[in-house]
Structures are given as structure tokens and as C-alpha cells.
């Protein structure tokens, strides 16, 4: 796995993980890498700072450690992120057909012209998603878990 810092043409920056550098290149050339804020497909790698580990015997400096009374609430997402994710979710649900666990099969059928061309979303196992990408089927992960629709 490799993590890239990315930037869209609108100036939004975000990080994303890819299976490999080749996987990123393949997704980027097919327009499958999109901005998580505005959905723009014109995304490129941003300048990244290298992650350098300190020496094994290096002692952390006291001023680098957070104070004992500093509390960081990682369980509560930032309100603006929640709004953006909710907007993305609404857009996907209003403009796509939910196909559930049949996502991989339905996406392949659409790609091969065996099913009507339409926007779909659903669930796929990692190996199914990898197979779709390798076969050139345009897919992308959603930044939320689809709510299961029942009868």
C-alpha cells in the first residue's frame, strides 16, 4: 500500500491510499481519482513531506509530547466534513441505483454492454473490486458505507 497527498484543480488537498504506484497511475489516467470535497476528476499528486523515523535510541523531546491535560477528541468528526459526506451520500443515493452485494457483477455487465448504462452503487469484496479495476471497469470506493435497503 502507498499513501499519496493529492490536490484537485480547485485547490482542495487530501490523502488517499492506493495498492501501488501503478494502481494510482491506472486510476488517475481513467479519471477514477476524484476530489473528496468537490468531486473534481482533475487530481494530481501534491508535494509530500517524507516520513523519516527517528533513530531507535533517540529520546523524544519533552516539548514534542502533548501535555497530560491536552485532550484530542478523535471520535467526533469535524462538522464541515460531516456536511460534505452527507451531501455526497445524498447525491449518490438520489442519482444512482443501489445494487447491494451484486455490485461487482452488475458493474461488469454494464461495462460489457450486457446491462443498461447507469450509475450504480453497492458493496464489493476487496478481491472483486481489484478484479474490476484490473479489467478496466471504472469503479471507485465511496467515503461511506451504504445503508442496506430492505423490502
State pLDDT tens for residues 51-110: 666 666 666 555 555 555 666 666 666 777 778 888 888 888 899 999 989 999 999 999
Give pLDDT, residue 105: 95
Higher pLDDT, 143 or 62: 143
Average confidence (pLDDT) over 27-54 = 82
Into how many domains does the chain fold? 2
Average pLDDT, the chain: 82
Domain assignment present for 55: no
| Together in a domain, 150 and 113 | yes
Rounded to the nearest 10 degrees, the angle between the axes of helix 126-134 and helix 21-29 is 60
The yes-or-no verdict on residue 148 having pLDDT over 90 is: no
DSSP, residue by residue, 104-117: HHHHHHHHHTSS--
The yes-or-no verdict on residue 7 having pLDDT over 50 is: yes
The yes-or-no verdict on residue 149 having pLDDT over 60 is: no
Alpha carbon distance 48, 4 (integer Å): 8
| Together in a domain, 40 and 80 | no
Under DSSP, the state recorded for 62 is G
Average confidence (pLDDT) over 117-135 = 91
| Together in a domain, 39 and 86 | no
In three-state secondary structure terms, 32 is coil
Residues in contact with 94: Cβ distance below 8 Å, sequence separation at least 6, in sequence order: none
Percentage of the chain modeled with pLDDT above 70: 76
| Together in a domain, 104 and 44 | no
The yes-or-no verdict on residue 41 having pLDDT over 80 is: yes
Domain assignment present for 28: yes
* Range in 6-10, 79-83, 112-116 the model is least confident about: 79-83
Q: Domain residues for 2? A: 1-49
Residue in this structure with the C-alpha cell 451531501, named with its chain if needed: 87
Angle (nearest 5°) at CA 58 between 52 and 59: 120
In three-state secondary structure terms, 45 is strand
| Together in a domain, 99 and 135 | yes
Count H helices and E strands in the chain, helices first.
Answer: 4, 5
Domain assignment present for 31: yes
Q: Which helix (H) or strand (E) holds 49?
A: none
Amino acid at each position: 500500500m502507498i499513501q499519496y497527498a493529492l490536490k484537485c484543480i480547485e485547490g482542495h488537498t487530501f490523502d488517499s491510499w492506493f495498492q501501488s504506484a501503478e494502481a494510482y497511475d491506472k486510476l488517475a489516467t481513467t479519471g477514477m481519482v476524484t476530489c473528496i470535497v468537490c468531486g473534481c476528476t482533475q487530481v494530481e499528486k501534491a508535494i509530500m513531506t517524507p516520513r523519516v523515523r527517528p533513530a531507535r535510541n533517540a529520546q523524544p523531546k519533552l516539548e514534542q509530547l502533548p501535555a497530560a491535560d491536552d485532550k484530542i477528541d478523535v471520535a467526533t468528526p469535524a462538522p464541515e466534513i460531516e456536511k460534505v459526506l452527507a451531501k455526497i451520500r445524498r447525491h449518490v443515493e438520489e442519482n444512482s441505483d443501489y445494487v447491494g452485494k451484486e455490485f461487482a457483477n452488475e458493474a461488469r455487465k454494464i461495462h460489457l454492454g450486457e446491462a443498461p448504462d447507469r450509475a450504480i452503487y453497492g458493496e464489493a469484496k476487496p478481491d472483486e473490486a481489484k478484479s474490476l479495476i484490473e479489467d478496466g471497469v471504472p469503479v471507485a470506493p465511496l467515503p461511506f458505507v451504504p445503508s442496506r435497503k430492505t423490502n
